[in-house]
Structure 1
Amino acid sequence: MTSSEEKDILNGITGSVNPGEVLALMGPSGSGKTTLLNLLSGRLMEPTVGGSITYNDHPYSKSLKSKIGFVTQDDVLFPHLTVKETLTYAALLRLPNTLTKQQKEKRAIDVINELGLERCQDTMIGGSFVRGVSGGERKRVCIGNEIIINPSLLFLDEPTSGLDSTTALRIVQMLQDIAEAGKTVVTTIHQPSSRLFHKFDKLILLGKGSLLYFGKASEAMAYFSSIGCSPQIAMNPAEFLLDLANGNLHDVSVPSELQDRVQTENSENDTANGKPTPAIVHEYLVEAYETRVAENEKKKLMAPIPLDEEIKAKVSSPKRNWGASWIQQYTILFRRGIKEHRHDYFSWLRITQVLATAVILGLLWWQSDSKSPKGLEDQAGLLFFIAVFWSFFPIFTAIFTFPQERAMLSKERAADMYRLSAYFLARTTSDLPLNLVLPVLFLVIVYFMAGLRMGAGPFFLSMLTVFLSIVAAQGLGLAIGAILMDLKKATTLASVTIMTFMLAGGYFVQEVPVFISWIRYMSFNFHTYKILLKIQYADISPIVNGMRTDSGFREVCALVAMVFGYRLLAYLSLRKMKLHFGA
């Protein structure tokens, strides 16, 4: 059930941050920190958001993304690429097209040195099942992906989340170094240690979407003491501020004005609790800020700081600034796709699975004879299994493609690293050479062990048929994954689809009822099976297992149509998710 009721997530936020400064956005969970950060960085441009985002009175434009870096809370990186490869690909895709490939690669090396990643530059990033760099190094790589474009503004969402205090301190010190180089740094942070808190130049404290404090971080404690809220025991300043933002006044002095409000509310509600509720505390803090600080801060912000001509041109230009041409984007993404996914395609588990199946089939159909009707029927069963196996295997591999890479695609498209068409074509074609190796090994073993029709022509035609079936099945897997973007749903739908195709493929049931017989013409199993029968037995019998071994032209056309049709469907499905990918 959906509600059309509007909700104010952020209300009356005012603040400023200058080059050379680090601004921290603090507040409890649900206070609006990430929403504010996404709005400021241009990542959240939904039509339901009221108001406008301007940079020194200039409206936000897509070209401005080239001067803004955004580091997400989650470390979205490819696990099988090394640190150097990750940053090099980012440089090749994001740096201006005016730079040469060598200059872009040098910039990647410079960032590695700047972030202190030299020791692990040739180590894989790693992930859940792949050993790689440490958590702090992963976060530095994520930051490196953004500072590689030398941004004027750098936004970070919870950069210290999940890190120990020492590693978190190193990250914040690194942010200070970036700011001191003339950059403007804005970061959300949940509950920093006292050492971290004192590293920030400015602070915005949010509570339920409202501004409770903006100013120098070093003056925050003095401000809250001035309105009667000060800790009664030694406390981490960040912990004290978050308690206030949550309306929790344990171990905190209660100002007389707030105490009067509590007594008034108690008398009106006929209660004698005597403790201020979080709602009353929040209301008091918001009013205190608005009456004591807000007006002065707003006056300071009335006169915008003049921008230099280069940034002004970028801000006012509505065009995107692609770092590489379409062909370059495709080439870079193709190379990256092969490097990242070769580990999955050539894992020992997959190789063992394919080779073991091939040997078992070879032994079961060892030197089978197609001259007798019984032998021919047995061989037809083998051909049907090959057609099913090399549609079943790739479809379930392809299903994972887009759901697993959704976060990466979202992040990179939001940064305008490449066109969706270049990514899609590179992602779907980089799998083709990887998809060819194991089927060749499989067919070499099965073909000669089973004693299928000898000769270079029949063998290579069988190989081409299997490869065409693989690419068609892969297309269906890509389409299902792109449409549903949910692995459980996609796997279920693919299982039902492949089972239906298999049953309608003409081997188990030759006399398929008329009302469902049309399904076989959508089945790549059916078309692959017919072509394989044609290759093996066209000279022996015109009909095998009830199947007519005709020219095979229609079956080839049907498979080719599936290869392109399913991929087009997958691409259009990704296009429809435009808003989700920040395109």
Structure 2
Amino acid sequence: MANSTCYQAGAIGLPIQTASSWTSTGCSQGFFCPNNTADALPEYCPPLPDCQVARLSGLTCEPQGVLEPVICTAGYYCPKGAKSMIKCPAGHYCPQGSYKPLLCGRGARCSAGSVQNMDFLPLVILIILDLILVSVVVLIGCGSRLKKWRPRQQKRANRKTYTFPGRLRGNNYQELEAFRVQGEEEADIAMEAAFAPPQRKRTGFEEIMEPEFNAEQELGDTGKLSSDLQLFVQSMSKCIGGEKFGLNFEYHDLKFQPDKSKKPVLSQVSGCINSGSLWGVMGASGAGKSTFVNVLMGKTPHTGGETKVNGVAGNMSRFKKIIGYVPQDDIVLPELTVRENILHSARIRLPYTWTETEIQNHVDILIRCLCLDHVQNSLVGSTAAPVISGGQRKRVSIGIELAASPSAIFLDEPTSGLDATSAASIMTTLKALSRLGITVVTIIHQPRQEIFDSLDSLVLLGAGRMIYQGPQIHMQPYFEQLGFTFPKHGNPADAMGDIIAGEGRLYKPHGDATVQGLIDNWQNFSAGRDQGGSSNISVVEMASLNATIKSRGARWYFQIYFCFIRSIVQQFRLQESFWFEMGTGAMAGGLIGLSEESQKGQNFRGIFNEPYSLLSSAIGYTSVPQMALLVGLAIGLTAAPSGVKIFGEEKLVYWREAAAGHNRFAYYMGKVISTIPRMVFANLHFTTIFFVLTTPRISWFAAFAANLLYFYCIYGLASCISMVCRRDDGPLLAVIASLIVGVLNGMSPTLARTSTWHVLWLWRATPGTWLAEAYFTENLQPLEYLYNIDDAVTSLGYHLGKYSLDMWVLLALGTAYRVLAFAGLRFMDRHKQR
């Protein structure tokens, strides 16, 4: 065969090479051989320098001879034995090496000669969904504003203010007479102006403080407050299963010593706290107040002594469903309204036999009794950006516990940070609750005189030992008997605070005024003395109490539902975060799409199948893994900060609810399920924008599924990070972790190379590898007719044709991350969940 059959004019002096394996009369599919016949077989011609450069650069060049095959040009298709390239018809696209036209998507505008499938239908659907979401948000926002609107006259009519000052004077809480002479009223107002302003709204529980109030008799139609209180008492009776609400706590020789401490924090503490009274636990810093209360509640397992509830000894934690605890810091969800915070607690903690109507009525009554009805639809807000006042916020925190109808309630510094008016209101509410029969125990520090006088009984601690226990009115005579002198016009609480803090010399110039002396005096004084008596309980009452405990709490599947709904509401209220994540996903998809747009859908270049391997351009085996790498990194940057916030910002809420008997698994599952819609929408924005610009061979649904499961993995990984780091560090560490698992995707170093290092298991343990393998399979399998895929598989180490397995493994990894996160949530900081 003459040289002219291989080279065009001007290309002389180069050898001819005929491929002996080309025995057919035409090209294989995907190649163009216009001059081949049975007598003129296809042949390979060494490329000219320009053609060689082009091929090494990954490009193609013209045939080097009239008989040399060439890969079918993009925009055309070449069936087997093609003598001419056929232009891709309208409605189809033909990437390079096509042997038949491929049908474009329904939303693509593919004119004749199209080379890629740029389907805009997912983008149109995405825009429609976004418009629907925005419309729903706007309509709900408008509806909320209309619901809050009230005529001014109606607002003024609903304002009920209490104009009688001085309501916390003395131990009997006697109110000033409504009709005093103007001079006497002004005098009282002037004397007590430093404590409470003359104008203040009353809480519903203040009705109990009326001298004529009797909770056991029919109140009759005496007004709104009396009716509400009657209903509240009936609701409490129904919940507890009897008329006796409170719990009696007996303790004898209590001792608590931490494992690594040489000295006990609490020791030789004995006494009894009876129901139906308001107790104050006081002492200097480090005196053991919090430890004492935690032992009584069952939060801290004591290392010595005995504790009884209603005369029955046992594990205190079994009573936590009927014991409320209000921490010093108001742990409420700022994104929820006053009513929503209280209602969730009622739904979770009231007896599972209660209907939704009964729960709603119970919450209505409680909100009115707490005088929160006028702000019940207001957001609580955070301490940095409050919406309601500090006193109202504290009443919400108390209401969360009262919603569960507890038999005892413990409070840590309930008046801390409040003004005098709010503090007075809170203490009056607590006093009223004790008069209902509920056991109320509060840790209090340096109370003003009016608040101190409101306490029925005191527990004074010093150096972890008992200094005094008994009625508040007997405290001063007891210390005076020991030789201490109280200022005539001072606050006895201030003097007592100095004495039990070790500054007793200010009030006792001579004799022993040390804390140890006070401890010894009380031990001698209380020896053989009844400190409150034993609380005997009948078998019937104990059985009723046990039945009450067992009935408390919604079923676990209902708790999952309630937690899911609450989390969805939180996300709706935090719309900025939601739209930011959607925008971040869309922007990430756009940037990656732009980086891949120049490929025009040709994301892989390999060695052509025999006998066309000599015609191959420079290989690009890592193009698809590189695309998967960018996808993984983008999803990590989008999902990691949001995923870490699921639990990282609500640990205090979880600890409080877990300690109250909330099902931990239900709480976790409710939060996890609530993130699914968020992941779907974020992934929808990311995948749609990415797919429109990149136009890979993988189908949109396959890419969406793979990306969604990778979102699922990153959210789970971020949840794990949130369990082991501080709140402020969580987002950054989660992003770093997502970048690490994204980089370990088998692109560089390849899986084939890592297997020689015997660390392949590390790469296979990360979701990035399985995402890349899924992309590798779906992008390469359609090209098996054209390229030698086996060489690419051997070179990189991925498995081909395992897309379903890749999806299952991603699902398993995301679930494993969540299992680890739940284990961290459940078993880390266990002492805070008691």
Quickly name the TM-score band, shorter chain normalised: 0.7 to 0.9
Question: How far off its partner does 1:13 sit?
Answer: 3.0
- Tell me the distance in 1 between the aligned counterparts of 2:270 and 2:554: 37
Deviations 1:468-501 (A, max 9, x none): 111122223333444x254578668656644443
Distance 1:300 1:559, change over 3 A: closer
The code of the aligned residue for 1:449 comes to L
Give 2:772's aligned amino acid: Y
Q: 1:113 Cα deviation (Å)?
A: 0.9
SS of equivalent residue, structure 2 residue 649: helix
Equivalences for residues 102-141 of structure 1 within 5 A: 102-127=357-382, 131-141=386-396
Q: Secondary structure at the match of 1:53?
A: strand
2:349–2:662 contact (8 Å) kept in structure 1: yes
Query: Residue deviations 1:47-84, cap 9 Å, x none?
Result: xx212210232024555333322212222222211111
Matched, 1:156 2:411: yes
* Among candidates 508, 515, 518, match of residue 285 of structure 1: 518
Q: Does 2:571 align with 1:571?
A: no
Determine the structure 1 residue equivalent to 2:308.
Answer: 54
**1:277 counterpart residue number:** none
Residue 193 of structure 1: how far off its partner (Å): 0.9
**Which residue of structure 2 aligns with residue 79 of structure 1?**
334
- Answer yes or no: is 1:29 the counterpart of 2:285: yes
Who is 2:532 aligned against?
301
Could you say which residue in structure 2 is the equivalent of 1:360? 591
- Alignment partners' CA distance in 1, 2:583 and 2:453: 56
In 2, are the aligned partners of 1:59 and 1:315 still within 8 Å (CA)? Answer: no
Q: 2:766 aligns with which of 517, 523, 529?
A: 523
How far is 1:22 from its partner?
0.8
Aligned to 1:558: 809
Q: Deviations over 1:375-414 (max 9, x none)?
A: 9876764443112222443344334444433322222122
- Aligned-pair distance for 1:90? 0.7
Partner residue of 2:446?
Answer: 191
Q: Deviations over 1:323-376 (max 9, x none)?
A: 211221221122122222444575244344333333334444447413484998
Matched, 1:369 2:369: no
Could you tell me which amino acid in structure 2 is paired with residue 571 of structure 1?
A: F
Equivalent pair of 2:592/2:631 in contact (CA under 8 Å): no
Specify the alignment match of 2:635 in structure 1: 390
Q: Which residue of 2 aligns with 1:10?
A: 266
**Where does residue 261 of structure 1 map in the other structure?**
none
1:86 counterpart letter in structure 2: N
In 2, the alpha carbon distance for the partners of 1:343 and 1:522 equals 37
User: 2:718: which partner in 1?
Assistant: 477
Q: Does residue 336 of the first structure (1) align with residue 566 of the second (2)?
A: yes
Partner Cα separation in structure 2 for residue 548 and residue 152 of structure 1: 62
Q: Cα offset for 1:112?
A: 1.0
CA distance in 2, matches of 1:517, 1:345: 42
- The corresponding residue for 1:509 is 749
User: Aligned pair in 2 of structure 1 residues 496, 306: CA closer, same or farther (>3 Å)?
Assistant: same
**Partner SS, residue 151 of structure 1:** coil
Point out the more displaced range, 566-575 or 421-430. Answer: 566-575
Code of the residue aligned with 1:70 in structure 2: it is Y
Pairing 1:401-550 to 2, within 5 Å after superposition: 401-418=646-663, 420-453=664-697, 458-482=699-723, 484=724, 486-487=726-727, 494=734, 497-510=737-750, 512-513=753-754, 514-515=756-757, 516-540=759-783, 541=787, 542=789, 543=792, 546=796, 549-550=800-801
Query: Is residue 2:297 matched to residue 1:44?
Result: no
Matched position secondary structure for 2:431: helix
The amino acid across from 1:525 in the alignment is G
Q: What count of residue pairs does the alignment treat as equivalent?
A: 550
Tell me which amino acid in the other structure corresponds to 2:675. D
Native 8 Å contact 2:624 2:779 kept in 1: no
- Inter-partner Cα distance in structure 1 for 2:702 and 2:575: 24
User: How far apart in 2 are the matches of 1:434 and 1:356?
Assistant: 16
TM-score normalised by length of structure 1: 0.85
Higher relative contact order (CA 8 A, sep 6+): 1
Deviation at 1:437, TM superposition (A): 0.8
Task: Give me the whole-angstrom Cα distance separating, in 1, the residues matched to 2:599 and 2:367.
Answer: 60
Higher mean Cα deviation, 338-347 or 51-60? 338-347
Q: Secondary structure at the match of 1:52?
A: strand
Superposed CA offset, 1:266-311 (max 9, x none): xxxxxxxxxxxxxx5112222333344x247x32534x23436664
Residue of structure 2 equivalent to 1:276: none
Which whole-Å deviations, capped at 9, do the CAs of 1:129-179 have from their partners, x for residues lacking one? 654333222211111111122222221111112222221121111111111
CA RMSD, Structure 1 to Structure 2 (Å) = 3.1
CA distance in 2, matches of 1:176, 1:134: 21
Tell me what 1:177 maps to: 432
1:146 aligns with 2:401: yes
Aligned to 1:263: none
Alpha-carbon distance in 2 for matches of 1:315, 1:53: 17
> What is the DSSP-based 3-state SS (H/G/I as helix, E as strand, rest coil) of the residue aligned with 1:133?
coil
Q: Sort the Cα spacing of 1:86 and 1:508 in 2 relative to 1 into closer, same or farther, 3 A.
A: same
1:213 aligns with 2:464: no
Partner SS, residue 532 of structure 1? helix
Partner of 1:262: none
CA 1:290/1:407 → structure 2, altered by over 3 Å: closer, same or farther? same
Deviation at 1:189, TM superposition (A): 0.1
> Could you tell me how far apart the structure 2 residues matched to 1:461 and 1:532 are?
9
Does the residue aligned with 2:650 lie in a helix, a strand or coil?
helix
Change beyond 3 A, Cα 1:285–1:337: same
2:280 alignment partner, SS class: strand
Percentage of pairs with the same residue: 25
**TM superposition shift of 1:197:** 0.9
Q: Secondary structure at the residue paired with 2:466?
A: strand
In structure 1, C-alpha distance between the alignment counterparts of 2:583 and 2:385, rounded to whole Å: 20
Deviation digits for residues 204-225 of structure 1, max 9, x if unmatched?
Answer: 2211122222222233223222
Partners in 1 of 2:815 and 2:331 — Cα distance? 30
Q: Is the 8 A contact 2:587 2:686 kept in 1?
A: no
C-alpha distance in 1 between matches for 2:405 and 2:704: 50
Flag the 1:4–1:445 CA change in 2: closer, same or farther, 3 A: closer
Return the alpha-carbon distance in structure 2 between the equivalents of residues 463 and 5 of structure 1. Answer: 56
Report the counterpart of residue 271 of structure 1 in structure 2: none
**How far apart are the structure 1 equivalents of 2:737 and 2:276?**
58
Gapped runs of 5+ residues in structure 1? 259-279
Q: Give the whole-Å Cα distance in 2 for the aligned partners of 1:384 and 1:371.
A: 17
Q: Are the aligned partners of 1:368 and 1:451 in contact in 2 as well (CA < 8 Å)?
A: no
Structure 2 portions without partners, runs of 5+ = 1-257, 606-617
Q: Deviations over 1:93-114 (max 9, x none)?
A: 1111121111012111211111
User: Cα deviation per residue 1:212-267 (whole Å; 9 max; x = unaligned)?
Assistant: 2222223322322222111357432221111101111464242x433xxxxxxxxx
CA deviation after TM superposition for structure 1 residue 441, in Å: 1.6
Tell me the alpha carbon deviations over residues 449-484 of structure 1, each in whole angstroms, 9 at most, x when there is no partner.
33444xxx81111111101111122223333444x2
Instruction: Look at both structures and tell me which one has the larger radius of gyration over its CA atoms.
Output: 2
Question: For residues 826 and 808 of structure 2, what CA distance do their matches in structure 1 show?
Answer: 27
* Residue identity opposite 1:33 in structure 2: K
Q: What TM-score, normalized to structure 2? A: 0.61
> For residue 270 of structure 1, what is the aligned residue in structure 2?
none
